[in-house]
């Protein structure tokens, strides 16, 4: 939207996940007169996510980002304590940070197809 259409000063999408719910938001800094066009582009991108699998390069980039972010967070002992406490409360089996990273490495594009379609089904 920013590079191709010149509509926004900035664009960012954030996902928040919880044990039983979550949300996806997209924010864009656009002039009021261009808001409708920006919303149409954002909604089209959400729809595209339900119709096309993410590319291998995009998945690799996301996995690398998640692994790096996780490793940095685990360097702080208070974050590591929260990591184990959250799992003790919410999960049947606790994972070590290395086990979590190994799970990230195993993710494939097909892991996202059905969840994305379900998550974004309100867009249909």
Write the CA distances from 46 to 24, 49, 98, 107, 120, integer angstroms.
10, 5, 32, 21, 7
Q: Dump pLDDT digits (tens) for 67-80.
A: 999 999 999 999 99
Q: Dump pLDDT digits (tens) for 50-105.
A: 778 788 898 899 899 999 999 999 999 999 999 899 899 988 889 999 999 999 99
Taking the model in full, what pTM does it have?
A: 0.67
């Amino acid at each position: 939207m920013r590079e191709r259409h010149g509509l926004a000063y900035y664009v960012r999408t954030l996902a928040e996940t919880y044990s039983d719910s979550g949300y996806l938001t997209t924010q864009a800094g656009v002039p009021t007169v261009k808001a409708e066009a920006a919303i149409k582009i954002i909604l089209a991108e959400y729809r595209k996510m339900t119709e096309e699998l993410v590319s291998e390069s995009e998945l690799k980039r996301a996995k690398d980002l998640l692994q790096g972010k996780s490793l940095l967070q685990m360097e702080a002992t208070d974050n590591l304590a929260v990591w184990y406490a959250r799992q003790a409360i919410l999960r049947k089996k606790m994972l070590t940070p290395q086990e979590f990273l190994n799970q990230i490495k195993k993710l494939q594009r097909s892991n996202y197809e059905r969840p994305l379609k379900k998550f974004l089904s309100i867009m249909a």
